[in-house]
């Protein structure tokens, strides 16, 4: 491939559905002459009309200049046959997600376009290597994976298969930048970057629901408390359980049934029952037309004093520890500070309120011979908003009085305690650890670089931080220890630590010893 792609290069978009229409709009906005084709007669013209109407609405609101909209819309021409792709320098395919249909289309295209035309697929789950298999010139074939809604979402995964020429991937990368997108390079592997690394965000919550750790609204509130814009249950309701389940199932299958990616019975039941989320009116939540019974936002915690205790010890570090130190000082309480403790949290007259390390509270109680043990979750952001939900649990043997005091300590630190069953790793700690783990494996396997994994998760699914940014605020040794404890608790492949993360933990250990 020698021909450079610039804004004069004609672009042929195939599939005038949600994604194809968005891609046509973005290409036209950047100045390209765009042809839009769909197998369904009239679909491309319809898509152009809808696009013009939605842009006109933005002109009415004063958000876009009328001349800009007119010029953008004028650059899009509905095509009526594949043959019209003859002069294209780039074809972007966004048709139905079926490998055979896509392959047949590309074979047909190769007979029409010239030798330098780049062929790109917006597939979200099919291997780019496999789609290129029967092409005469597989080197010009590349994945150009946009996110929905295309005009708004910044990320584009530029996916290279085994035969994709680096110059082709680079040309698409540069073009995506000129389309005001933020591209990242990805190697063609199941789920590419975002759809792979994001799996645990849904899977951990589904696993917790399966063991009845808490209601969906509680788990959603805890992850929102950690800075995520939407909790996993509300997000799955938005995406549609059928779609979300299909992606998980395809990543699971593509990894030869690796139990790390196993789909959930909880979600399967929703799909089988037609409870697909917003689009069907009900998923985890009921979505009536006007009123949405969505996840409850916990009320802001009112100022609560620390409980009474004769002897206070403050262990370790962290956002809650800092707040407790401030509170103890403010309330004039005497306390002992154990900075280099093996755990972080509070000790009140011998009872322990500890940050989770991946063991259930009952196990901590057994191993420390302390009856009154309660655990709290990891705080996801460095500056959590006041009143943010925070998961906690207590050992089944803990006294009622201790449980009440533990909850009061969390409120006194400014969090809204959300009680979970005594599950290891609670919800935020295990979810973040698994996201970090998956990202580590992706980087180890050459799917993407660590900075690109962070960028992709922030731009592709709006995460408040990237997995490696969370890791930088944590400690690889603690993440691995947490995963190993989950692994020991549940037995199976699910919590298998990435070799890359384990290596990092050893290196960190070697540096400090």
From the list 5, 19, 235, 505, which residue makes contact with ligand NAI (rule: CB under 6 A)? 19
Shortest Å distance, C-beta 21 to ligand NAI: 8
195, 393, 437, 440: which one is catalytic? Answer: 195
Which string of DSSP letters, residue by residue, matches 123-158? -SSS-HHHHTTT-S-GGGEEEEEE-SSTTT--EEEE
Comparing CB distances to ligand NAI, the nearer of 19 and 479 is 19
From the list 5, 11, 14, 159, which residue makes contact with ligand NAI (rule: CB under 6 A)? 14
* Bridge partners, 293 (sequence order): 286
DSSP 122: -
From the list 11, 28, 43, 51, which residue makes contact with ligand NAI (rule: CB under 6 A)? 43
3-state secondary structure of 48: helix
Shortest Å distance, C-beta 75 to ligand NAI: 20
Q: Is 157 a catalytic residue?
A: yes
Comparing CB distances to ligand NAI, the nearer of 127 and 504 is 127
From the list 15, 225, 227, 283, which residue makes contact with ligand NAI (rule: CB under 6 A)? 15
Shortest Å distance, C-beta 376 to ligand NAI: 36
Take residue 245 and report the two structure tokens written for it.
Answer: 């389940």
Comparing CB distances to ligand NAI, the nearer of 92 and 348 is 92
- For 461, residues 6+ apart whose C-beta sits below 8 A from its C-beta are 194, 198, 201
Comparing CB distances to ligand NAI, the nearer of 148 and 293 is 148
Shortest Å distance, C-beta 124 to ligand NAI: 4
Q: Is 195 a catalytic residue?
A: yes
Which range binds ligand NAI by CB under 6 A, 18-26, 112-120, 171-179, 362-370? Answer: 18-26
From the list 5, 12, 20, 502, which residue makes contact with ligand NAI (rule: CB under 6 A)? 20
Shortest Å distance, C-beta 456 to ligand NAI: 13
Contact between 159 and ligand NAI by CB under 6 A: the answer reads no
CA distance 482 to 500: 15
Closest residue to ligand NAI, judged by C-beta, is: 17
From the list 124, 127, 356, 395, which residue makes contact with ligand NAI (rule: CB under 6 A)? 124
Binding to ligand NAI in span 196-225, by CB under 6 A: none
Shortest Å distance, C-beta 122 to ligand NAI: 4
Binding to ligand NAI in span 71-110, by CB under 6 A: 94-97, 101, 105
Contact predicate 99/131, CB 8 Å: yes
Q: Is 255 a catalytic residue?
A: no
Which range binds ligand NAI by CB under 6 A, 72-80, 122-130, 377-385, 393-401? Answer: 122-130
Comparing CB distances to ligand NAI, the nearer of 124 and 431 is 124
Please calculate the CA angle 151-152-153 and round it to the nearest 5 degrees: 105
Which range binds ligand NAI by CB under 6 A, 35-43, 327-335, 348-356, 375-383? Answer: 35-43
Which string of DSSP letters, residue by residue, matches 401-416? HHHHHHHHHHHHTT-E
CA distance 39 to 405: 65
* Bridge partners, 121 (sequence order): 93, 143
Q: Is 145 a catalytic residue?
A: yes
From the list 4, 40, 60, 308, which residue makes contact with ligand NAI (rule: CB under 6 A)? 40
Q: Can you state the angle between helices 450-460 and 428-444, rounded to 10 degrees? A: 130
> Long-range contacts made by residues 15-18, C-beta under 8 angstroms, separation at least 24?
15/93, 15/94, 15/95, 15/96, 15/122, 16/40, 16/43, 16/44, 16/46, 16/47, 16/78, 17/43, 17/47, 17/94, 17/95, 18/148, 18/149
Contact between 148 and ligand NAI by CB under 6 A: the answer reads yes
Shortest Å distance, C-beta 155 to ligand NAI: 10
CA distance 279 to 283: 9
Shortest Å distance, C-beta 368 to ligand NAI: 48
Total residues at interface with ligand NAI (CB under 6 A): 22
CA distance 399 to 319: 26
Take residue 68 and report the two structure tokens written for it.
Answer: 């800009």
Q: Helices (DSSP H) in 141-281: which residue ranges? A: 166-178, 194-197, 199-210, 216-225, 232-239, 241-254, 265-272
How far is CA 493 from its chain centroid? 21
93, 110, 157, 204: which one is catalytic? Answer: 157
89, 121, 127, 145: which one is catalytic? Answer: 145
CA neighbours within 13 Å on the CB side: how many for 395? 23
CA neighbours within 13 Å on the CB side: how many for 401? 7
- For 89, residues 6+ apart whose C-beta sits below 8 A from its C-beta are 3, 5, 9, 10, 11, 116, 117, 118
Binding to ligand NAI in span 468-497, by CB under 6 A: none
From the list 35, 77, 123, 504, which residue makes contact with ligand NAI (rule: CB under 6 A)? 123
Shortest Å distance, C-beta 414 to ligand NAI: 38
Contact predicate 92/144, CB 8 Å: yes
Question: Which of 222, 205, 218, 192 is closest to 270 using CA atoms?
Answer: 205
Q: Which residues are catalytic, by number?
A: 124, 145, 157, 195
Binding site for ligand NAI (CB under 6 A): 14-20, 38-40, 43, 94-97, 101, 105, 122-124, 146, 148
């Amino acid at each position: 491939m020698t021909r450079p792609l610039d804004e004069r290069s004609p672009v042929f978009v195939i599939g005038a559905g949600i994604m194809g229409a968005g891609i046509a709009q973005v290409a036209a906005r950047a100045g390209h002459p765009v042809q839009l084709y769909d197998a369904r007669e009239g679909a491309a013209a319809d898509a152009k009309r809808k696009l013009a109407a939605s842009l006109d609405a933005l002109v009415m609101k004063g958000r876009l200049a009328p001349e800009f909209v007119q010029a953008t819309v004028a650059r899009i021409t509905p095509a009526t046959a594949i043959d019209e792709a003859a002069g294209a320098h780039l074809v972007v395919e966004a048709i139905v997600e079926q490998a055979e249909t896509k392959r047949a289309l590309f074979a047909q295209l190769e007979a029409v376009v010239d030798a330098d035309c780049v062929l790109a697929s917006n597939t979200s789950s099919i291997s780019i290597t496999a789609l290129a298999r029967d092409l005469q010139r597989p080197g010009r074939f590349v994945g150009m994976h946009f996110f929905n809604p295309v005009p708004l979402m910044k990320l584009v995964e530029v996916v290279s298969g085994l035969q994709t020429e680096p110059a082709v991937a680079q040309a698409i990368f540069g073009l995506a930048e000129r389309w005001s997108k933020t591209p990242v390079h990805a190697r063609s592997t199941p789920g590419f970057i975002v759809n792979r690394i994001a799996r645990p965000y849904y899977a951990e919550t589904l696993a917790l629901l399966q063991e009845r750790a808490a209601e969906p609204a509680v788990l959603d509130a805890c992850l929102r408390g950690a800075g995520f814009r939407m909790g996993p249950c509300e997000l799955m309701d938005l995406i549609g359980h059928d779609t979300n389940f299909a992606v998980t199932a395809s990543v699971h299958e593509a990894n030869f049934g690796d139990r790390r990616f196993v789909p959930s019975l909880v979600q399967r039941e929703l799909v089988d029952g037609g409870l697909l989320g917003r689009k069907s009116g009900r998923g985890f939540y009921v979505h009536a037309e006007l009123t949405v019974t969505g996840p409850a936002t916990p009320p802001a915690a009112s100022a609560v004093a620390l409980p009474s205790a004769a002897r206070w010890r403050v262990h370790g570090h962290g956002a809650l520890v800092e707040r407790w130190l401030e509170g103890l000082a403010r309330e004039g309480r005497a306390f002992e500070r154990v900075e280099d403790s093996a755990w972080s949290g509070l000790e009140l007259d011998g009872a322990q309120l500890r940050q989770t390390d991946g063991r259930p509270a009952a196990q901590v109680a057994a191993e420390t011979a302390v009856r009154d043990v309660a655990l709290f979750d990891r705080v996801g952001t460095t500056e959590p908003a006041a009143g943010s939900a925070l998961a906690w649990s207590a050992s089944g043997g803990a006294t009622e009085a201790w449980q009440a005091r533990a909850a009061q300590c969390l409120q006194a630190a400014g969090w809204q305690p959300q009680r979970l069953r005594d599950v290891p790793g609670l919800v935020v700690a295990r979810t973040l650890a698994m996201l970090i783990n998956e990202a580590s494996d992706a980087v180890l396997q050459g799917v993407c670089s660590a900075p690109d994994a962070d960028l992709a998760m922030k731009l592709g699914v709006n995460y408040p931080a990237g997995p490696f940014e969370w890791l930088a605020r944590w400690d690889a040794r603690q993440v691995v220890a947490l995963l190993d404890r989950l692994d020991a608790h549940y037995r199976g492949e699910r919590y298998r630590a990435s070799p890359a993360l384990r290596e990092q933990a050893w290196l960190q250990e070697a540096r400090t010893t």
